[in-house]
Amino acid sequence: MDLEQLAELRTPEGSAALAAAAEVAGGDPLAAAAALRSAGVPAGLAAAALTQAELRRRAVGKFGPVATRMFFTRAGLEQATRGVVARRRADRLRAAGVTTLADLGYGLGADALAAARAGIRVYGVEADPLTAAMAAANAEATGLADRFTVECGDATAFDVDRVDGVFCDPARRASGRRIFDPNAYSPPWDFVVGLAERVPRTVVKVAPGLDHALIPPGGEAEWVSVDGDLVEAALWCGELAAVARRATVLTEKPGTSGVGEPAVAHELTGSGTVEAPVGPVRRYVYDPDPAVVRAHLVAELAGELGATLADPAIAYLYADSPTPTPFGRCLEVTDVLPFSLKRLRALLRERRVGRVEILKRGSALEPEKLRRDLKLTGNEPASLVLTRVANAPTVLIARPLPPRPPRPG
């Protein structure tokens, strides 16, 4: 896709091609291309329309129903923030008094759209000309064009004195590859963290693997998971920082993409520096949510659950009774064995176990290889927890407790 093709898609002929592509997208791509060609759509336009139709279908999960009128690049859609996460951030910015926001590294506008919906005026800067042109078209498609401005340019040149808040989501990919070194982000890390010194209300989206040493002094680092998947971290700086560390656990309501309705959210906060107490393996094991683990809030969760670790370096928590929590899964431990393939296989056969889910922390074993090596034949389910206890490779046989419906809170 280039600027010329985008312009063509925005003509009446392009709109007709997009409408026809939407009818046939999602099925056999060759049949879809043939259908557009036989409807008289030129080959180049048909290919561009079909690509957009496919991306629009995929984008509904992140952007909501408005995605069917927006334009996407594959890379831009991959990097876009999920609707539930963007909405939550936008609501927090609005609640903190932000009325005008610079979105530096605007992309296709998932965060900007959420901010505009929250009533914030957004000034976007996007370096890539095609992405910027699509972003401008997308602002129009949302019906909120009066709340966005998207300029094509370098975010480092933007005059931040014009706004009362800044959001920056630096590009963490180059030539399709993920970048792990923040110094290679674009805009560069020095500029990104320097924003916090220039604008009192700055929030930066970063990779969830962020090294805690990079958190600016006095800043709040938040890790966010959606339905158990760790999706991002954010650094809330200056006046926006409320605590040192926060784990936000979101549950997406089915079919909403968080755009129309907010996600169910639970938050755990703390200093991120407390060590959880250590004790024996007990009857219930908790597998904490990845946002809790990455935020270094396992000790705070242990406090809520009356739980202990069995190994100071491994984030499984153990307790004598099960306490419902949105911050992790709870399983009932039936057996604790020093790891031995032979013994484990024999015990699972005796119990007629044929299906296992395998959880692991602190174990080098490969779950899929173990599953093959167990050669299970029965019908019963079981959960295996591969871990270490007092530095010894250990396997727990367990059964999950029935899930409870999430409580708002």
The reply on whether position 258 binds ligand SAM by CB under 6 A is: no
- 166 phi, psi to nearest 5 deg: -130, 135
Q: Which is nearer to ligand SAM, 110 or 226 (CB)?
A: 110
- Which residue, among 10, 89, 97, 25, has the nearest Cα to 55 in the 3D structure? 25
Closest approach, Cβ 185 to ligand SAM, in A, equals 8
Per the CB < 8 A criterion, the answer to whether 263 and 231 are in contact is: no
Q: Which is nearer to ligand SAM, 96 or 171 (CB)?
A: 171
Q: Which of residues 185-244 bind ligand SAM (CB under 6 A)?
A: 186-187
The reply on whether position 300 binds ligand SAM by CB under 6 A is: no
Which of 25, 67, 80, 237 is in the footprint of ligand SAM by CB under 6 A?
80
Task: Please provide the DSSP assignment of 251-275 as one string.
Answer: EPPTTTTTTSSPPEEEEEEE-S-PP
Report how far apart, in Å, the C-alpha atoms of 4 and of each of 8, 48, 130, 131 are. Answer: 6, 11, 9, 13
Neighbours of 38 (CB within 10 A): 8
The site map against ligand SAM for 320-339 (x = CB under 6 A) is --------------------
Q: How far apart are CA 184 and CA 188, in angstroms?
A: 6
Closest approach, Cβ 71 to ligand SAM, in A, equals 12
Q: Which of residues 147-176 bind ligand SAM (CB under 6 A)?
A: 154-156, 169, 171
Q: Which is nearer to ligand SAM, 73 or 394 (CB)?
A: 73
Q: Which stretch binds ligand SAM (CB under 6 A): 75-83, 143-151, 300-308, 369-377?
A: 75-83
Contacts of 7 (CB under 8 A, 6+ apart): none
Can you count the helices (H) and strands (E) in the chain? 13, 18
The reply on whether position 136 binds ligand SAM by CB under 6 A is: no
The reply on whether position 111 binds ligand SAM by CB under 6 A is: yes
Closest approach, Cβ 102 to ligand SAM, in A, equals 11
Residue 384, SS3 per DSSP: strand
Which of 5, 51, 79, 202 is in the footprint of ligand SAM by CB under 6 A?
79
Per the CB < 8 A criterion, the answer to whether 141 and 111 are in contact is: no
Interacting residues toward ligand SAM by CB under 6 A: 79-81, 105, 107-111, 125-128, 131, 154-156, 169, 171, 186-187
